[in-house]
Chain A
C-alpha cells in the first residue's frame, strides 16, 4: 500500500504539464486550509447558537419535559429528522434558492455556510437533546423544588450538567462539518477538500492528494484532542484523574466524619 503510494509519488515527479510543482503545493494547500477553518468556524458558531436552544426546546417539549407539548414536539422532531436524513450533497442542491435568498449568491464560502449550518444544526440539535436525556431527572426536580424558573432549570440543571457530553458531541459535529466542507467545496467554496477533489482526484495529482490527506488527518486529530481536553476540563472527576499525583485535589477519606 505505502509502496504503491510512494511509487506514484515518485512517478508524479515526471508529470503532465498541468501538475502543481512540489514547491508550490504549500502555497496551494495552506490558504485552502485557512478557507476550511474559516468556513467551519462560522458554521460552528451558528450551529452552537441555534442548536443549543433548539436542542433544549426539543428536549423539554417531549413527555415529562418542562413545557411538554406532544404536537409541537413531533413537528419539530420531524423537521430535525428531515434535516438529518438528506445526504449533504442533496440537501445543498435542494436549498439553492433559499441559499441565494439569504446570501445573494450560490457560490463561494457564504453559499456553503447556509447548507452546512442547516445540516450542522440538525445534527447538533440531536446531540444536545441526547446529552440532556443523560442528566438524572432528579436534578430537574431539585431545581424546581428550590424555586428555579424554567430558564434557570434549563441553564443550571440541564445544560450545565450535560456540558461535558455536549462538548464531546460538539467535537464529533465539528469533524463532520470539516467533512461537509469538502463537499461544499464543489460549489466553489474553496477549502482543503476542494483542493483534494479538483487537484488530487480529478487531475490525478498525487503529491497534492497526499498533502491534503496529511493536513486533513492532522486537523481532525487536533480538533479531537482539543475536544477531549475540553471535556476533561469540564468534568470534575476526570480533572482529578489527570491531576492525581501532581496535586492533591482528592478528598482525604475520613470515616469518622461521615
Chain B
C-alpha cells in the first residue's frame, strides 16, 4: 500500500517559485488500482516523479507499506526506488536491447547473477505473454507488446507498488484494452497497489477502482468510480461518462437527464416511468454498463407536457418522484445547452472547474 501525505512540490525560489503540488493526500490500498486524472499542467507528471522518487518532494511524505521513503539519502533512495515499479510510455525501451535484455535491466543494475536473471526474465516474459518474443528488438514489437515488456521490466524486482505514468497513452484501443486486462490480472495475482496516472477518461473507466482529479496541484474530487458515476452532482462522474450528443426531443417534450443512483434500477425503467407518469417517455440517448460488476448508467429522455402551470399535466416534481422511485435521479436539461454539449473530456473538466 502507498500513502501520500501532504505532498508539496515547489519549483524555483522566492518570487519565481511555482507550486506544482499543493498538500496532496491520497492512499492506494494493496490490490487497488487508483487513477489520477487531470488536464495537462495539473501536476500529474510531477506527482509521478515524486512517487517513484525521481524528484524529492518539497514537503510531505511518500510512504510505502508505512515506511517513509521521501526523507532518504541519495544512496538509500536508489535502493528504495527498487520497491516501486514504474511503467513509462511505450517508447521507453532501450532500442539496442532485445525484449529479454530490456526486462533484465533492473536485475543487471542490482547485480543479480546471470543464471538468476535468465530465470526471472523467463518468468516475466511468460507472465506478460511474450515468451516467443524474447529475442526481438523494440522496433520488431507492436506498441502493445512494447508496453508489455515495459510492465515486465517494472515487475522485475518484485515491487509492491506499480506506478503507471501515461502507460496507455499513444496506444491503439485494442492494445490499451490488453494492457488494462494485464494490469487488472496483476493486481489480483500479486496484490499490487497500482497508481495509474493518465489523461484518458475512457481508460480510467476500464482499469481503475477509484479515481482522483488533479487540478492546479490540488485533488479537487475523488472517489470510487461507481460512486462517482452514480452521483449526478459529480463533475468527475460526468467527465467519466461517454459524452456523445443525444437525439433531439420531439416538439412539446422537455428533455430530462437521468442518472442511475441505485444498484437496483429495473431494466424496464423506461416503460415503468411512462406508466407511472401516464405520458410518453422517449429515449433520446443512454449509456448503461457494468463497472466492477455493478450497474451504472445515464440517459436523456423526452417527456411531454411537464409544465407546472397546466392543471392536468405532469409536473416536474412528479417526474423527479417517479424517477426517484426507480432509483434514478432526474434533472431537467436547461434549454439551449443541448447543442453545445462539450464532446471532449478536457472541456468538460474545464466547465466543471
A interface with B by C-beta (< 8 Å): 136, 138-139, 141-149, 152, 156-157, 160-161, 163-164, 234-237, 240, 249-251, 253, 257-258
- Sample 16 A-B pairs with CB under 8 A, ordered by A number: A138-B89, A138-B91, A139-B94, A141-B88, A142-B88, A142-B94, A145-B52, A145-B81, A146-B157, A156-B108, A157-B94, A163-B96, A234-B96, A251-B133, A258-B145, A258-B178
Residues in B neighbouring A251, C-beta threshold 8 A: 133, 136, 140-141
A69 to chain B, nearest CB (A): 15
Residues on the A chain within 8 Å of B81, using CB: 144-147
- Inter-chain contact A149/B139, CB cutoff 8 Å: no
The listed residue (A141, A146, A236, A258) touching B105 by CB distance below 8 A is A146
6 other A-B residue contacts (CB within 8 Å) besides A142-B153, A146-B82, A240-B140: A141-B49, A145-B81, A161-B96, A235-B96, A236-B140, A258-B145
With an 8 Å Cβ cutoff, the count of chain B residues facing the other chain is: 39
Partner among A143, A163, A237 whose Cβ is within 8 Å of the Cβ of B109: A143
B343 within 8 A of A: no
Q: Mark B92-131, 1 if CB is under 8 A from A, else 0.
A: 1011100000000110111000000000000000000100
- With contact pairs A156-B94, A236-B137, A257-B129 given, residues A146 and B145 touching in the complex (Cβ less than 8 Å): no
Per a CB cutoff under 8 Å, which of B88, B110, B133 touches A147? B110
Contact, CB under 8 Å: B140 / A149: no
Q: Is A258 touching B142 in the complex (CB atoms < 8 A)? A: yes
Q: How many A-B residue pairs have CB under 8 A?
A: 92
Q: Decide if B79 touches A147 in the complex (CB within 8 Å).
A: yes
Q: Decide if A149 touches B129 in the complex (CB within 8 Å).
A: no
Interface, chain B (partner A; CB < 8 A): 49, 52, 54, 78-79, 81-82, 84, 86, 88-89, 91-92, 94-96, 105-106, 108-110, 129, 133, 136-145, 153, 156-157, 174-175, 178
Tell me if A149 and B96 are in contact (CB < 8 A). Answer: no
Q: Which residue of A lies closest to B136 (CB)?
A: A251
A146 near B54 with CB under 8 A, answer no
**Shortest CB distance A235–B (Å):** 8
Nearest A-chain residue to B174, judged by Cβ:
A258
> What residues on B are CB-neighbors of A164 within 8 Å?
96
Q: Which residue of A lies closest to B133 (CB)?
A: A251
Query: Do B106 and A146 touch (CB < 8 A)?
Result: yes
User: Is A149 touching B109 in the complex (CB atoms < 8 A)?
Assistant: yes
A253 to B140, CA, bound (A): 9
In the bound complex, CA of A196 to CA of B293 (Å): 85
Q: Which residue of A144, A161, A258 contacts B144 across the interface (Cβ within 8 Å)?
A: A258
The 8 A-B pairs with the shortest beta carbon distances in the complex, nearest first, are A251-B140, A258-B144, A146-B106, A236-B137, A147-B82, A145-B86, A148-B109, A237-B139
- Chain B hits for A148, CB < 8 A: 78, 105, 109
B144 cross-chain contacts in A, Cβ below 8 A: 258
Chain A residue nearest in CB terms to B130: A257
The verdict on A138 contacting B96 (CB below 8 Å), with A147-B106, A236-B137 known, is: no
Q: With a CB–CB cut-off of 8 A, which chain B residues contact A138? A: 88-89, 91-92
Question: CB-CB < 8 A to A145: which residues of B?
Answer: 52, 54, 81, 84, 86, 88
B100 → chain A closest CB, angstroms: 13
Q: Are A236 and B139 in contact (CB under 8 A)?
A: yes
Alpha-carbon separation in the docked complex, A156 to B174 (Å): 32
Please indicate which of the listed interface residues B110, B133, B140, B141 has the most CB atoms of chain A within 10 Å of its own CB: B140
Question: How far in angstroms is the closest Cβ of chain B from A167?
Answer: 12
Q: Are A147 and B157 in contact (CB under 8 A)?
A: yes
**Closest residue on chain B to residue A157 by CB atoms:** B94
State the CA gap A173–B86 with chains docked (Å): 39
Bound: A73/B308 CA distance, A: 76
Q: Is the CB of A147 within 8 A of B54?
A: no
Known A-B contacts A145-B52, A147-B109; the reply to A237 vs B174 at CB < 8 A is: no
- B96 cross-chain contacts in A, Cβ below 8 A: 160-161, 163-164, 234-236
Measured CA separation A136–B89 after assembly (Å): 12
